Amino acid sequence: MAKAPPPLPPAVRRSPPTTIESSRDRERLRTVVFPEHSDLARAVAERIVEVIHRETRAKGRAVLGLATGSTPLGVYEELIRRHQAGDVDFSHVITFNLDEYYPMTPDSPHSYRRYMWENFFAHVNIAKQNVHIPDGTIPRERVADACAAYEEAIRAAGGIDFQLLGIGKTGHVGFNEPGSDATSRTRIVTLDTLTRKDAAADFFGVENVPREALTMGVATILDAKEIALLATGEHKAAIVARAVEGEISTDVAATFLQRHQSVTVYLDLPAADELTRIKTPAPSTARSSTGCATRFVAGPSSRRTSGCSSSRPIPMTTSSRWAAFSASCGRTRTRSSSRT
């Protein structure tokens, strides 16, 4: 007779996501910083699940605006996991993607259509006809009409309930490069040199990166009911600080988010590194009138009662930033001893 399998280890109790919250008097956008990328992905996915439940209950469908790039991959993984766990049904979800390179064939490894199917849609029960992605194969003379039709399809769906965004090093959201204004709608754009250089490795050389793209406009994005801007990694720190703390300007399309009523910026610690509250955590800037509201919460990786534990070593720069950030708030907490 086959030997009984060993008993499963007890389930690890999931704690609320780990976040850092502090004074934000320089911040013009609601910003939440997560020590762990996985916590960020879980928090965003949880919010999306809530929106899907709320909207499908209220109107029979939910409309999501979706992004590509490496940043949202963890969110898609988590949404797939939640779907497989039976937590969320995508059969009444309608999606609109932000952008696509132009020209671009759908089967190209660089196409955003392929990215979306491989990384998300193929793993959930979304209906094919509910997926909308700008078509990189449209003949040039029909591009303007196709872009107008894309706007019309968003309107016909009742508008976007939740828009997911990444940010490029130029400050673009979608492919709204410097110069894009607040009235811009879905259209064809010329990509910034920096954007093409950033994509060069994926395309095996900058000369292979398309020079143009189709993108929702700034106004299209701002029409969404709720917006989440995600950024991870130190290479995003400077542009994140500009978007969150800088003046609104056509130089940085992400600054237009400051005009929206319901935006949350989700960052990991390296991407938050240039925010004043972390870069210059002097008591005068790190305290608000209500005092420093630092909040460290144990993450899912924590098996102890202590907070913010991580199985991964914390790079020196990150841990010293963290220490400076905590000290500026007049706390003696460390990553392994703080908890609220």
Check binding of 174 to ligand GLP (CB under 6 A).
yes
Whole-number Cα distances in Å, 5 to 11, 12, 162, 172, 218: 17, 20, 44, 53, 56
Q: Bridge partners of 221? A: none
Contact of 186 with 220, CB cutoff 8 Å: yes
Quote the CA–CA distance of 249 and 260 in Å, as a whole number.
Answer: 14
Distance separating alpha carbons of residues 127 and 73, to the nearest angstrom: 20
Residue 171 is a binding residue for ligand GLP (CB under 6 A):
no
Q: Is the peptide bond before 103 cis (omega within 30 degrees of 0)?
A: yes
Residue closer to ligand GLP by CB (options 17, 166) is 166
Binding letters toward ligand GLP, positions 179-208, x by CB under 6 A: ----------------x-------------
CA pair distance 46, 35, nearest whole angstrom = 17
Residue 270 as a binder of ligand GLP (CB under 6 A): the answer is no
Q: Which of 175, 256, 266, 296 binds ligand GLP (CB under 6 A)?
A: 175
User: Binding mask 151-170 vs ligand GLP (x if CB under 6 A, - otherwise)?
Assistant: ---------------xxx--
Nearer to ligand GLP, 269 or 292 (CB): 269
What gap in Å lies between CA 281 and CA 140, rounded to an integer? 51
Least Å from the CB of residue 81 to ligand GLP: 20
Q: Are 218 and 183 in contact (CB under 8 A)?
A: yes
Nearest-angstrom CA–CA distance, 192 and 169: 10
By the rule CB under 6 A, 116 interacts with ligand GLP: no
* Beta-sheet pairing, 93-97 with 131-132: parallel
Closest distance of CB 151 from ligand GLP, Å:
18
Judged by CB under 6 A, the number of residues near ligand GLP is: 13
Quote the least distance from Cβ 313 to ligand GLP, whole Å: 24
| Beta-bridge partners for 212 | 102, 190
Q: Which residue's CB is nearer to ligand GLP, number 23 or number 170?
A: 170
Residues 62-101 that bind ligand GLP (CB under 6 A): 67-71, 98-99
CB closer to ligand GLP, 195 vs 301: 195
Task: List residues binding ligand GLP (CB under 6 A).
Answer: 67-71, 98-99, 166-168, 174-175, 195
